[in-house]
Amino acid sequence: MSNSTAYKPGRHFLQIPGPTNVPERVLRAIDQPVIDHRGPNFGRLGLECIEGLKAIFQTKAGHVFIYPASGTGAWEAAIVNTLSPGDKVLMFETGQFAVLWHKMARDFGLDVHFEPGDWRHGISPARVEELLRADAGHKIKAVLCVHNETSTGITSQIDQVRAAMDRAGHPALLMVDAVSSLASTDYRHDEWRVDVSAAGSQKGLMLPPGLGFNAVSEKALAASKTAKLPRNFWSWDGMMGPNKTGYFPSTPAINLLLGLKEAIKILVQEEGLPQVFRRHERLAEATRRAVGAWGLELLCIDPKERSAALTAVMMPAGLNEAEFRRGILDAFNLSLGAGLGKVAGKVFRIGHLGDMNELGQCAALCGIEMGLEKFGVPHKKGGVAAALDYLARN
Q: Each residue of 321-373: pLDDT tens digit?
A: 999 999 999 999 999 999 999 999 999 999 999 999 999 999 999 999 999 99
Per-residue pLDDT, 3: 56
Q: Each residue of 93-110: pLDDT tens digit?
A: 999 999 999 999 999 999
Residue 260 shares a structural domain with residue 310: no
Residue 176 shares a structural domain with residue 148: yes
Task: State how far the Cα of 19 lies from the Cα of 26, in Å rounded to an integer.
Answer: 14
Per-residue pLDDT, 4: 60
User: CB–CB of 65/243 below 8 Å?
Assistant: yes
What amino acid is encoded at 25 in this protein?
Answer: R
User: Dihedral of CA 134/139/141/145: which sign?
Assistant: negative
- Of 269, 294, 319, which marks where a domain is finished? 269
Per-residue pLDDT, 6: 80
- Whether 367 is covered by a domain: the verdict is yes
Q: Each residue of 210-223: pLDDT tens digit?
A: 999 999 999 999 99
Q: Which residues of 52-89 are buried (b: 16+ CB within 10 A; e: fewer)?
A: bbbebbbbeebbbbbbbbbbbbbbbbbbbbbbeeebbb
Residue 66 shares a structural domain with residue 170: yes
Residue 248 shares a structural domain with residue 280: no
pLDDT at residue 275 greater than cutoff 70 = yes
- Whether 247 is covered by a domain: the verdict is yes
User: CB–CB of 213/53 below 8 Å?
Assistant: yes
Parent domain of 336: 13-21+273-393
- CA gyration radius, the chain: 21
Q: C-alpha angle with apex 71: 315 to 75, nearest 5 degrees? A: 110
Per-residue pLDDT, 359: 97
Residue 278 shares a structural domain with residue 265: no
Q: Each residue of 183-208: pLDDT tens digit?
A: 999 999 999 999 999 999 999 999 99
- The 3-state DSSP class for residue 317 equals coil
The overall average pLDDT reported for the chain is 97
Average pLDDT of span 262-271: 98
Q: Which of 177, 128, 169 is nearest to 150 (CA)?
A: 177
User: How many structural domains are present in the chain?
Assistant: 2
pLDDT at residue 87 greater than cutoff 60 = yes
Q: Which residues of 356-382 are buried (b: 16+ CB within 10 A; e: fewer)?
A: bebebbbbbbbbbbebbeeeebebeeb
Residue 17 shares a structural domain with residue 71: no
Residue 129 shares a structural domain with residue 176: yes
pLDDT at residue 2 greater than cutoff 60 = no
Residue 228 shares a structural domain with residue 340: no
Residue 86 shares a structural domain with residue 203: yes
Q: Residue 1's pLDDT band (boundaries 50, 70, 90)? A: very low
Residue 33 shares a structural domain with residue 160: yes
- Whether 389 is covered by a domain: the verdict is yes
Q: Each residue of 38-77: pLDDT tens digit?
A: 999 999 999 999 999 999 999 998 999 999 999 999 999 9
- Whether 132 is covered by a domain: the verdict is yes
pLDDT at residue 172 greater than cutoff 60 = yes
- Whether 200 is covered by a domain: the verdict is yes
Average pLDDT of span 376-389: 98
- Whether 203 is covered by a domain: the verdict is yes
Per-residue pLDDT, 34: 96
Residue 72 shares a structural domain with residue 199: yes
Q: Which of 85, 76, 112 is nearest to 228 (CA)?
A: 85
- Of 269, 288, 321, which marks where a domain is finished? 269
Average pLDDT of span 111-131: 98
User: CB–CB of 199/185 below 8 Å?
Assistant: no
Task: State how far the Cα of 27 lies from the Cα of 337, in Å rounded to an integer.
Answer: 23
CATH number of the domain within which 339 lies: 3.90.1150.10
Q: Which of 90, 59, 76, 92 is nearest to 195 (CA)?
A: 59
Cross-strand partners of 13: 334
What percent of the chain is predicted at pLDDT more than 90? 97
What amino acid is encoded at 170 in this protein?
Answer: H
CA atoms within 13 Å, Cβ hemisphere of 155: 22
User: Dihedral of CA 199/205/209/210: which sign?
Assistant: negative
- Whether 2 is covered by a domain: the verdict is no
- Of 269, 287, 316, which marks where a domain is finished? 269
CATH number of the domain within which 160 lies: 3.40.640.10
Residue 73 shares a structural domain with residue 137: yes
- Whether 178 is covered by a domain: the verdict is yes
